[in-house]
Chain A
């Protein structure tokens, strides 16, 4: 196994991961926020505004 390890690094030397960094590394949380943000601020808000335009009478 040792032959396949990264050539220059020892796992024990890795820097500790801060709480903020751990949050940044959490794919589930990023996925939720990354989908919710544009869906609310761009799509839903934009669609609501178009829907609120009165329909022209014929």
Chain B
């Protein structure tokens, strides 16, 4: 097990409530990045609500021009700016506090923050004034104003710099011997995140620089298929970065709330390494129905390598709840399969957000991601609303919900402000999980019935060749959008609570709400380590949960093939 030693106390403040040593520059940077992320969530969430109210057939609030502005703005603000500002912020915390490390080059970190902010603001403005209605994927021949691409490139470069700072901080900590033994699991997760991010943002530069030159008229031919191949190395991998960070958050919150340790830290670490080698290769699942590439390239990356990443996810899916179960059982909550779970602190938004994220990510984002990575199955859902249904299962109910939960713990810790509006905070995780989960399920169902993902109006009211979807489809889309509104309400409650917390007053020792374990315990637990003497079925409840997930995956997988056979029969 790793042990952290404070070598330079003048660079740290010690939280009087949790006992954690917080590196001063890292705290300021973490707060700035997280606050900025939340502002972009506010903007992106509002635009998302407009998208939902437009796709709701009975309301259909926006004309097509404004719909595509809202859709592009929603995608950029939440998929890029909310997630990645937040991740950089929490990464600064994870590579400093758990190992008592000093952040390397804080001035360069501030420079990168401003670069990201200027880039994000520039891209957002270009979208909002209607100069970049190209949607998130921005596939050529759709062309935006050059300043949109300049904004994205500035943001990507700004987001690339912190990854080197993160790695430099970890190397410096090792050299300064601020910890002994192996690197703590949370810091290790962030190291994996940083490496994936370097690949991701470099790929972003590789594709966005020629696209910028093309938009300026300096390059006359932009190969659409070449763009798609390299673009998804950027865009899919940004979502893999999200996954690595939210799983790091799961481990951390399990430790914070229950004193839980991974069932086997080496196995958990190996699961992160599987992510490092295999997760980005799944980018091919965006291209499975595209022409121009071989079956070998598609299948190797999505099936063979992709399943290694799935193995990593299954390991995390067992070891995170397993660690909680073991900790709870050792406290005496050992009756039956699920007493440990029933008596968990469901009224604490840190726990409810975290656990809902774990379950919903597995069942909605994970299972559907695996099945749609199969080339044959992919054909029946390609370019339908199944795809946004799936990625709202990953990014909204998985990543964003985990970030909500973590915010409720980390923001009071970093600001020493009391959590504002705790009642709203409590409701936010349930509303967001329920709402976005409903949205994901019903959108995926509508996608199975052929609803296109990028069309503004599924009634095709102004089309020269009329077409009408069945009443079933209308109902599925309507319920999905009702879910989006419920989820949006949850997000609004989160924003009110967390922005209120940022604006609150500093409190004295002991005045922070009991969102976590008492002083000292947290810091120690974050150092990682494996639960000793695990034997046989010490975590039967978690095993049942995982086997349920696996059974559901198998049934769902074969149901997809059955569905494929019915719509594309072989005679």
Residues of chain A at the chain B interface (Cβ within 8 Å)? 1, 4-11, 13-15, 17, 21, 24-25, 27, 30-31, 33-35, 37-39, 41-43, 45-47, 49-51, 53
Are the C-beta atoms of B182 and A5 separated by less than 8 Å? no
* Contact among B1, B6, B198 for A15, CB-based, below 8 A: B1
Are the C-beta atoms of A50 and B21 separated by less than 8 Å? no
B277 within 8 A of A: yes
CB distance from A25 to the nearest CB of B (A): 5
For the complex of A and B, 5 pairs with smallest distance between CB atoms: A4-B6, A14-B181, A34-B195, A9-B3, A38-B280
B292 within 8 A of A: yes
B455 within 8 A of A: no
CB distance from A36 to the nearest CB of B (A): 9
CB distance from B95 to the nearest CB of A (A): 11
Return the chain A residue nearest B233 by Cβ: A43
In the docked arrangement, what's the CA distance between A14 and B1, Å?
5
| A17-B181, A21-B182, A25-B183 known; A33 vs B276 contact (CB < 8 Å) | yes
State which residues 197-247 of B face A: CB under 8 Å: 198-199, 202-203, 206, 223, 225-226, 229-230, 233, 237
Contacts of A46 in B (CB 8 A): 229-230, 284, 287, 293, 297
Q: How many A-B residue pairs have CB under 8 A?
A: 130
State which residues 1-44 of B face A: CB under 8 Å: 1-6, 9, 12, 14, 19, 21
| A38-B281, A45-B297 known; A6 vs B229 contact (CB < 8 Å) | no
B196 within 8 A of A: yes
Contacts of A27 in B (CB 8 A): 167, 170-171, 191, 195
Contacts of B54 in A (CB 8 A): none
In the docked arrangement, what's the CA distance between A46 and B305, Å?
15
CB distance from A47 to the nearest CB of B (A): 6
Return the chain A residue nearest B300 by Cβ: A41
| A30-B276, A43-B229, A49-B292 known; A6 vs B4 contact (CB < 8 Å) | yes
Q: Is the interface of A mostly helix, strand, loop or mixed?
A: helix
In the docked arrangement, what's the CA distance between A1 and B206, Å?
48
Contacts of B2 in A (CB 8 A): 14
Are the C-beta atoms of B1 and A50 separated by less than 8 Å? no
Contacts of B233 in A (CB 8 A): 38, 42-43
Considering residues B100, B170, B180, B266, which has the most beta carbons from chain A within 10 angstroms of its beta carbon?
B180
Q: 8 pairs across A/B with beta carbons < 8 Å?
A: A6-B4, A14-B1, A15-B182, A30-B195, A33-B276, A34-B276, A43-B230, A49-B293
Are the C-beta atoms of B195 and A31 separated by less than 8 Å? yes
Are the C-beta atoms of B284 and A42 separated by less than 8 Å? yes
Are the C-beta atoms of B225 and A24 separated by less than 8 Å? no
Are the C-beta atoms of B195 and A35 separated by less than 8 Å? yes
Are the C-beta atoms of B229 and A5 separated by less than 8 Å? no
Are the C-beta atoms of A35 and B198 separated by less than 8 Å? yes
CB distance from B63 to the nearest CB of A (A): 37
Contacts of A8 in B (CB 8 A): 520, 524
B523 within 8 A of A: yes
State which residues 411-426 of B face A: CB under 8 Å: none
Are the C-beta atoms of B294 and A49 separated by less than 8 Å? yes
